A and B are shown apart, each in its own frame.
Chain A
Amino acid sequence: MDWSSILGNTARAAIGLETVIYALAAIGLNVQFGYAGLLNFGQAAFVAVGAYGIAVTVTVLGLPFWLGVVVGLVAAVLLAVLLGIPTLRLRADYLAIATIAAAEIVRLTVRSATLRDQTGGSSGLSGFAEGFYDLSPFTPGQSYGFGPWVFGARLAWILLVGWVLVAVCCLVVFLLMRSPWGRVLKGIREDEDAVRSLGKNVYAYKMQALVIGGVIGALAGFVFGVGRASVQPDLYGTELTFFVYTVLLLGGAARVLGPVVGAAIFWVALVLIENVLVQAVGAGYVPDWLMSSTQVGQVRFMLVGLALMLLMIFRPQGIFGDRRELAIDAR
């Protein structure tokens, strides 16, 4: 077994592209679910809107890259408002079903052959990311970084931008959540009727939380789309949302850095397990009848499911969380 390759891959995963994407998506979800208690199961749709915002603006409309970013952000706000106006008055479990349905509607619509000329149908769009990479200060062909963290120029550039976005979002969340505004949000999570009885417009606060979380989700979509230099509708399915929930619960909901810690743990664990298993299968440590190399990926996701269950049952406050500050009613 080639441990240096395994450990190198694992170390890179801790700050890799997926970690950035899931951290951003989970920061957004943290505002909605962690702080405001909104059971938004449509986060994948916000990520999709961010990614497709750029892709469609650049490839189909032929407009510059930065305009694509604006389009993505505006679309995320619109989606949040459209989704929120009717659903934010629903009970928690109804909200979950309504948002998951809405996210599927977005995905099915985007992948439909009817809109093939606008969104690329089921194969998606590509060739929109060059505007972003043109801005890169790094020289193509060069490698950047140190130790195991050495990346090519393109990846280094998107990672740099991605981590700056993560830092900015964390700062914004930190500033918001120590303010009276954040206090109202946490109050709503605990008992919205109590907060309403104190004269706060609960509906407006929920909407603000949904919009902010959605916009941060769209930022995740930018990194997702630009990082892969393509968008493909089935990457934005309900499982993305479920994985983002797992990330958030791993790191601890309602903690500013929880989503970042959770995303790093999630991807480090996945990459480590995959690399170890692939090598073990390759080296014949794992018998063929038990696992083939293609089945390794499936085992990984079985473990994700198991981890989500066990987390929710035994440590709903996250790996490092304090049970008293538990954000969700998990009794």
Chain B
Amino acid sequence: MLTTLAAPRALLALVALALLLALAPALPGGGARADAATPAPSPGVSAPTDVEGETITVRVRTADREDVPGAEVTATGAGVDPVSGTTDDGGAVELVVPGTGTYEVTLDVDSLTGPAAGLLPRENPVQRSVASGSANPVIFQLSEDGGASASAGGVSAGQVAQLVANGLRYGLIIALAAIGLSLVFGTTGLTNFAHGELITFGAIATYFLNVGAGVPFLLAAPLAVVLGGVAGYANDRLLWRPLRRRGTGLVAMMIVSIGLALLLRYLFLYVFGGSTQTYAEYQGQRGLDLGLFTLRPIDLISMAVAAVVLVAVGLVLVRTRLGKATRAVSDNPALAAASGIDVNRVILVVWVAGAALAALSGVLLGLAQQVQYQMGFQILLLVFAAVTLGGLGTAFGAMVGALFIGVFLEVSTLVIPTELRNVGALLVLILVLLVRPQGILGRASRIG
């Protein structure tokens, strides 16, 4: 512990020094006026607010006012570089352009996926004169033929099937991430808020290998997963095991994980930037019409990979010695230790495997949506919901919970606006915590 923590200790000294120095300047420093001087730090927001410029708020939605996430839009203006962005869950994106003037905003029709695939905007591109201090809204309204024809009301079987398919795709991705979170909780009691960054790590590593270094995606993705495993190893060996040995409390460890999450997220922003990127390959695939629903070939392959990996993890947990030991530790660490299991080794394995799975989840999430520095953070609460629903600490529960959450998210958009679908999932999370904190598959533990 002493050796592994020596470096942080030195860093602490540096930080403390910096803070002391920061306190010192009670020195009079010229009578500059301050109205504008105090920078308005906006921690809650992603990059754009840190950047000087004007904002164009683009919204993409269907004729029946369903918001469309994941749509790529680009603003071009005279003499400036084009600015691109992808709509968020609320179907909105803010494009920050260098200054006022007239811009042309274009929607990339090929980027439309899910229910919006194949729809056309009424007007594309849109001219917009950008004024200072305004939100400068641009709205793309999508419909079948780009015209104003109203959609036929009611819910079709095809619509439901499409949503279920999308939900399964999403659920499988969440499931990959959920296993690690759940098993780490089960074996160490840590509620790891930095798990989302392991997901992002997988996607960003793939992006750099694929786009940056020109490694083919099919090689970059497994490499990223291996790197994810290495990250998990480093996590446990350098941070969590020393903290466990110190007897750090669970609440303290949870807060440490929040610090780690912040550190990593802004590190990603630092190296990757605030914009949304895609891998070099498998872009712009058209959906395959599979009768009831449409999915891109790459989605089908992702789903197959995720399913195979999940089944393999399940088999390892049930069949192998290591898997049984993992479940034993997750069930009752003290008991497992007493029966001769090397708990620390099991925990290390859980970290490596859990982080690798999270990285795979990120790789696939990057395919399904796009790569962005806070993509993992954004789905972290959904992963928590899945893990809690399935029963904290159980791998199988996490898988089932994740599939449920994925399908629930998508299907719920039949009744609630798409932008509010996460609200539904979070409500489920709170309800499960209240009514059955051991999860749908967990069992009540004995008290006292």
Contact = CB atoms under 8 A, between A and B. Distances in A.
Interface of A: 3-13, 16-18, 39, 44, 86-87, 90-94, 96-98, 100-102, 104-105, 108-109, 111-114, 121-123, 143, 145, 147-152, 154-155, 228, 232, 234-237, 239-240, 242-243, 245-246, 249, 265, 267-274, 294-295, 297-299, 301-316, 319, 328-331
A172 B348 CA distance: 48
Interface string B8-25: 110110011011011101
Contact of A310 (B15, B42, B65): B15
Contacts of B429: 97-98, 101
28 contacts: A12-B38, A98-B429, A101-B429, A104-B381, A104-B422, A105-B427, A109-B420, A109-B423, A111-B419, A112-B90, A113-B417, A114-B417, A122-B57, A151-B34, A155-B35, A234-B44, A234-B45, A235-B45, A272-B18, A295-B270, A297-B50, A305-B265, A307-B259, A309-B8, A309-B263, A313-B248, A319-B16, A329-B251
Interface stretch (B108-116, B171-179, B430-438): B430-438
A306 B15 contact: yes
A96 B191 CA distance: 9
B11 to A, nearest CB: 7
A243 B265 CA distance: 14
A294 B433 contact: no
Given A18-B40, A113-B65, 6 more contacts: A8-B29, A90-B434, A108-B419, A148-B30, A243-B43, A305-B261
Interface in B43-82: 43-47, 50-51, 57, 59, 61, 65, 67
> Would you list the 5 A-B pairs with minimal beta carbon distance, nearest first?
A305-B262, A305-B263, A308-B259, A309-B259, A8-B29
Interface of B: 5, 8-9, 11-12, 15-16, 18-19, 21-23, 25-35, 37-47, 50-51, 57, 59, 61, 65, 67, 90-92, 135, 191, 243, 246-252, 254-256, 258-267, 269-270, 381, 384-385, 388, 417, 419-420, 422-423, 426-427, 429-430, 433-434, 437
Contacts of A92: 250-251
B38 A90 contact: no
Nearest to B40: A228
Nearest to B190: A93
Chain A interface helix/strand/loop/mixed: helix
B47 A294 contact: yes
A31 to B, nearest CB: 17
A12 B262 CA distance: 26
Nearest to B247: A331
Chain B interface helix/strand/loop/mixed: helix
A113 B67 contact: yes
Contacts of A239: 43-44, 262
B426 A105 contact: yes
Given A150-B31, A299-B270, A93 B250 contact: yes
- Scoring B30, B51, B246 by chain A CB atoms within 10 A of each residue's CB, the highest score goes to B30
A331 B246 contact: yes
Given A147-B28, A319-B19, A304 B262 contact: yes
- Scoring B31, B34, B135, B264 by chain A CB atoms within 10 A of each residue's CB, the highest score goes to B34
B186 to A, nearest CB: 13
B426 A8 contact: no
A86 B430 contact: yes
B30 A90 contact: no
Given A105-B426, A312-B259, A7 B29 contact: yes
B19 A269 contact: yes
B256 to A, nearest CB: 5
- Scoring B91, B250, B430 by chain A CB atoms within 10 A of each residue's CB, the highest score goes to B430
Given A4-B30, A297-B50, A305-B263, A242 B22 contact: no
A38 B298 CA distance: 45
A312 B252 contact: yes
A234 B254 CA distance: 24
A149 B8 CA distance: 36
Contacts of B266: 298-299, 301-302, 304-305
A309 B8 CA distance: 10
B23 to A, nearest CB: 7
Contacts of A6: 29
A308 B262 contact: yes
A154 B35 contact: yes
A113 B90 contact: yes
Contacts of A301: 43, 262, 265-266
A112 B16 CA distance: 42
A273 B259 contact: no
Contact of A93 (B21, B31, B254, B423): B254
Contacts of A5: 29-30, 32
Contacts of A17: 38
A34 to B, nearest CB: 12
A108 B255 contact: no
Contacts of A39: 251, 254
A107 B271 CA distance: 28
Contacts of A228: 40
A80 B218 CA distance: 50
Contacts of B16: 319
Nearest to A291: B270
B258 A302 contact: no
A12 B27 CA distance: 11
B42 A235 contact: yes
- Scoring B22, B61, B248, B419 by chain A CB atoms within 10 A of each residue's CB, the highest score goes to B22
A235 B44 contact: yes
A290 B30 CA distance: 31
A232 B40 CA distance: 13
B381 A328 contact: no
Contacts of B417: 112-114
A122 B27 contact: no
B54 to A, nearest CB: 13
A97 B433 contact: yes
B248 A330 contact: yes
Given A270-B41, A331-B247, A11 B433 contact: no
Contact of A269 (B18, B26, B30, B263): B18
A307 B33 contact: no
Contacts of B252: 312-313, 316, 328-331
Contacts of B264: 305
A330 to B, nearest CB: 4
Nearest to B426: A101
A329 B29 contact: no
B94 to A, nearest CB: 8
B22 A97 contact: no
B260 A305 contact: yes
A310 B433 CA distance: 31
A178 to B, nearest CB: 25
Contacts of B27: 7, 11
A302 B263 contact: yes
Contact of B426 (A104, A152, A319, A330): A104
Contacts of A108: 419-420, 422-423, 426
